[in-house]
Chain A
Amino acid sequence: MEAWIEVIKNLDWSPLFISLKTGVAATVISFFLGVYAARRVIKATPKVKAVADGLLTLPMVLPPTVAGFFLLLIFSKRRPFGEFLYANFDIKIVQTWLGCIIAATVIAFPLMYRNARGAFEQIDDDLVCAARTLGMSEPRIFWTVVMPTAGPGIASGTILTFARALGEYGATSMLAGNIPGKTGTISQKIAMVIQDGDYLTAGVWVFIVVVMAFVIIFIMNIITGNKMKTVKRW
């Protein structure tokens, strides 16, 4: 017990904040991109739909290290696009926090996209038609009719996206590396201390992650549960 307290007293909390910041940023980006992509894909022709759907889901199916490899190919300063970003905008992706966000977003995005698409596809076409005949503008229909009706699907997509972004390891370690205080996320910290044989520190971090996961799911369930309780769904 004393050993635990000693570890917690001297703990470097930076991985927690880096992970949380990365998770929130990646979730916000994935939310808007995923919802937008889902909306576009549903309206597309079957052929475009098949291709777009495959590309957008790919990062979820590929091993994260493979996604990391592609990201390195794109963003490395020795590659055209990475060089272009660095030369023109002074933006560095590899070995930076920006890299953490990009890696987490790419890996978590498909979860948001697929959940949003599924939720949108469930919506009765007549609802949107009814809204149109009532003179509601398209953006208003989307935000007041489509999104609330798709609520549960969107919410679960958001939870899963956040959880996945929070725990991202493979692509992140390749693109952003594990620089303590900069890109060192909880997952990377755990892997690192385990390699050093420091099971006590690893245990503390594992405990924190498990508690966090429970709290997130609990909060989201309350939010969606209250609002959706009385809405009839099959």
Chain B
Amino acid sequence: MGIKVQVKKKFSGFDLDVDFVSSSSRIGILGRSGCGKTVTLKSIAGIQDIDRGYIKVNGNVFVDSKKRIILKPQQRKVGYLFQNYALFPTMSAAKNIMAGLSGQAEEKRNRAAEMIERFHLKGLEDHLPGQLSGGQQQRVALARIMAYEPEMILLDEPFTALDGFLKDRLQHEMLEMLDEYEGIVILVSHNRDEIYRFSEDLLIMETGKIVCSGETKEVFRNPGGREAASLTGCKNIVPVKRLHDRLVDIPDWGIKIRSTKVLPAEFSYIGYHAHDFIPVWGENNGNSIPFNLKSTAELPFEQQYFLNAQGMEICWFVQRELIKEIESRGLPRFLKIDPEKIVYLN
């Protein structure tokens, strides 16, 4: 099992130039809107023209520009879940599920019935897509793909169109339904939680290029670049100067951080997660930043502080126990940085 993708395509805004290999069966692509994620996915499915490329999935060559091979989407056996589900509006749920099947009418009906059972669509068989809720539509779309028995499934921002409460449940449901599926699944999203939960391998895209790739948890731990760090949820990213093996200068925050470990040889930025600051009420005993409060935002389970250190903003997010402590003791005087938790970036 494995996938190799090289795709080049010129657009008016940017050039798509994607190149990756993965042997994982659960791949995530994380990137902002308009970075080329969807185009990459569509070119794998064969529903997007590309200038040049090479695409090979599980040993089957889909595209090889040098040999002038371009398989039609019909020949690729790739299931594609569209953002808006793309259900055929004049066909009932059952007809939608049968649309991609060939063979005897009896066989098709049995296969559809099986899918309707599996995707909890009993009683909705004769409904048109317009009569179904967003979640039901998604299940029909997934059932339609599964009935077709694709070699690979591509999910294009599957949860963006759903509201928050539904989203968590559907995410969970979909992951369960996909558990039984043995082929490759690629999930494209701008939501890091979805990606983190789902993928084993992760690619991070920025303006048409893959800027970071690897095992998902490792990429989140060590994203390498600023864009990747910000996409994986790092709120504080500042330019720094490596002074020597154990000392780094952060001019924006007006402090120098001393590390007990030897620092990486080269880096020019650092990232620090908003949850990782340690409040200090007493004296400054090193690695700590003095600050003023700029604004706060209260969330159901979290308090967010936007702070000012030498005119530069710091985001500090606080949860549960600590919220209570701050309520009783007031805001701390300093925020301490744990050198172990610094993310070093290029």
Contact = CB atoms under 8 A, between A and B. Distances in A.
A131 B88 contact: yes
Interface string B112-150: 000000000000000011110000000000001100100
B332 interface: no
Interface string A121-149: 00010110111111111000000110011
A233 B89 CA distance: 9
Contact of B82 (A130, A135, A136, A227): A130
A135 B74 contact: yes
A5 interface: no
Mostly, the A contact residues are helix
A130 B128 contact: no
A231 B90 contact: yes
A151 interface: yes
B74 A130 contact: no
Interface stretch (B42-50, B162-170, B173-181, B255-263): B42-50
Interface in A142-196: 144-145, 148-149, 151
Contacts of B46: 132-133
B235 interface: no
Contact of A130 (B77, B80, B130, B131): B80
Nearest to A150: B90
B99 A134 contact: yes
A145 B88 contact: yes
Interface string A85-129: 000000000000000000000000000000000000000101101
Interface of B: 42, 45-47, 72-74, 76-80, 82, 84, 86-91, 99-100, 102, 128-131, 144-145, 148
Contacts of B86: 124, 126-127, 129-130
A232 interface: yes
B89 A144 contact: no
Interface of A: 124, 126-127, 129-137, 144-145, 148-149, 151, 227, 230-233
Contacts of B72: 132
B73 A230 contact: no
Contact of B47 (A129, A144, A148, A151): A129
A149 B89 contact: yes
Given A131-B100, A133-B80, A232-B128, 14 more contacts: A129-B80, A130-B88, A132-B46, A133-B46, A135-B77, A135-B102, A135-B148, A144-B88, A144-B99, A148-B91, A149-B89, A230-B130, A230-B131, A231-B89
Contact of B99 (A129, A131, A149, A233): A131
A129 B42 contact: yes
B271 to A, nearest CB: 37
A133 B99 contact: no
A144 B98 CA distance: 12
A134 B130 contact: no
Given A231-B89, A231-B128, A134 B148 contact: yes
Given A130-B82, A133-B79, A134-B144, A230 B128 contact: yes
